[in-house]
């Protein structure tokens, strides 16, 4: 059932191009218009939404954090991302014009379920983005958008994360279409780019041996830091989470801009730091800011492990290792940039002789509060 792979996690990483492609499948009509058939919420209600709150835990919450950048950009609706267990106890401001989006692989996470119930009691509409059919959260939501990643067996989430981002992007584009925030041809162009992502994800996976070799050389690392900006920030958080849960190494993700506000004090000789570098062709100033961050930490002795876009020669002078990813629109880049981080965590854990499918103390679905 592992299909010749050494672990379910390895198989699921290799499933990712399919997970994304299948999540995109059948979402447009013959004219190219985005149709989300399972989204049974009145269009007038969706047009009147004035705030979106994503509720989720762990990796699913990071997918929401990525989606926030895209949905706000495309729809001009404010998006908050809140850990489901914090949401409930905060007395959140939620009403009929709030759309709550619950993201969950298992569909059973108790904290997320309680957040869904709380939101509906306040009159909000809830759409859940769920991977597991027949689970509880979709039954308690107003509508569901299924991710089609297939069953995820390994405790650490990989392909579900990519398909959650994909589904949340579909939702964002659908809302933009419905509310007239984007021209139909702009939406088609983004969908076209999304449909090209599975091929690029496959390329990143095929480049995995260099990542694995680097991970094997780092099996005695005591702490690894991860930096990113914009959509690279939640990618950094996810990279750190994967490393903690699989390799039991202290790992922390930061927004690169926070460095000088504290975390840079952690940098000393040989400290490994992953840096997710945005596309040089993306938003003005973003790329050069991250390059300066790499310079700053390198000057203080950090060992820099850089994820950069093919052809980005500006990173070369400051990178100890470079993991190249294909070119993509900035908003789509998390689907590529996270893959080397997943492979790194898996390979480092394997080098330490750990069980990557079943890390200690963790359960696949957390059905207690
Ligand atoms: C991390 C991981 C967890 C889950 C979290 C939410 O690899 O697997 O952080 O993402 O427990 O689970 P779901 O998505 O089932 O609600």
Mean pLDDT computed over 199-208: 98
Which stretches of 4-57 are DSSP H helices? Answer: 8-14, 16-24, 43-48
> In this predicted model, what pLDDT tens digit does every residue of 117-156 receive, in sequence order?
999 999 999 999 999 999 999 999 999 999 999 999 999 9
Q: ipTM of this model?
A: 0.98
Reference 231, options 352, 332, 353, 115; nearest CA is: 332
Tell me which residue has its CA closest to atom 10 in ligand 1: 59
Check residue 89 and give its pLDDT.
87
Check residue 19 and give its pLDDT.
98
Measured from the Cα of 365, ligand 1's closest atom is 15
Q: Catalytic residues, which ones?
A: 364
Residue 15 has pLDDT above 90, yes or no: yes
How sure is the predictor about 87, in pLDDT bands with cuts at 50, 70 and 90? very high
Most confident of 91-100, 245-254, 278-287, 360-369: 245-254
Based on the number of CB atoms within 10 Å of its own CB, is 207 exposed (0-12), middle (13-18) or buried (19 or more)? middle
Report the alpha-carbon distance of residue 122 to residue 96 in Å, rounded: 8
Pocket test for ligand 1, best of 7, 8, 60 (most atoms within 8 A of CB): 60
Check residue 245 and give its pLDDT.
97
């Amino acid at each position: 059932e592992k299909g010749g792979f050494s672990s379910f996690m390895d198989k699921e990483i290799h499933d990712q191009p399919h997970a994304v492609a299948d999540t995109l499948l059948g979402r447009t009509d013959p004219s190219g218009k985005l149709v989300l058939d399972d989204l049974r919420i009145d269009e007038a209600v969706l047009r009147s939404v004035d705030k979106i709150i994503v509720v989720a835990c762990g990796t699913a919450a990071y997918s929401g954090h990525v989606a926030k950048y895209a949905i706000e950009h495309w729809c001009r609706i404010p998006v908050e991302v809140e850990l489901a267990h914090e949401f409930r106890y905060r007395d959140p401001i939620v009403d009929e014009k709030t759309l709550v989006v619950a993201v969950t692989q298992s569909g059973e996470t108790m904290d997320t379920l309680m957040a869904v119930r709380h939101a509906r009691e306040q009159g909000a509409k809830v759409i859940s983005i769920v991977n597991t059919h027949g689970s509880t959260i979709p039954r308690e939501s107003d509508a569901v958008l299924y991710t089609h990643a297939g069953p995820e067996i390994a405790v650490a989430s990989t392909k579900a994360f990519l398909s959650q981002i994909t589904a949340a992007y579909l939702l964002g584009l659908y809302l933009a279409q419905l509310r007239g925030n984007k021209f139909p041809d702009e939406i088609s162009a983004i969908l076209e780019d999304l449909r090209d992502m599975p091929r690029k994800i496959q390329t990143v996976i095929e480049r995995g041996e260099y990542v694995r070799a680097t991970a094997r050389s780092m099996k005695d690392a005591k702490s690894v830091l991860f930096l990113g900006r914009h959509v690279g920030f939640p990618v950094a958080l996810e990279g750190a989470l994967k490393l903690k849960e699989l390799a039991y190494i202290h790992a922390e993700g930061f927004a690169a801009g926070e460095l000088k506000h504290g975390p840079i004090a952690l940098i000393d000789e040989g400290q490994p730091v992953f840096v997710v570098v945005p596309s040089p062709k993306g938003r003005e100033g973003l790329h050069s800011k991250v390059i300066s961050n790499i310079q700053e930490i390198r000057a203080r002795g950090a060992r820099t492990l850089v994820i950069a876009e093919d052809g980005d020669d500006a990173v070369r002078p400051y990178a100890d290792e470079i993991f190249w990813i294909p070119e993509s629109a900035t908003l789509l880049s998390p689907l590529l940039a996270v893959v080397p981080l997943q492979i790194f965590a898996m390979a480092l854990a394997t080098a330490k002789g750990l069980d990557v499918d079943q890390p200690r103390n963790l359960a696949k679905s957390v059905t207690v509060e």
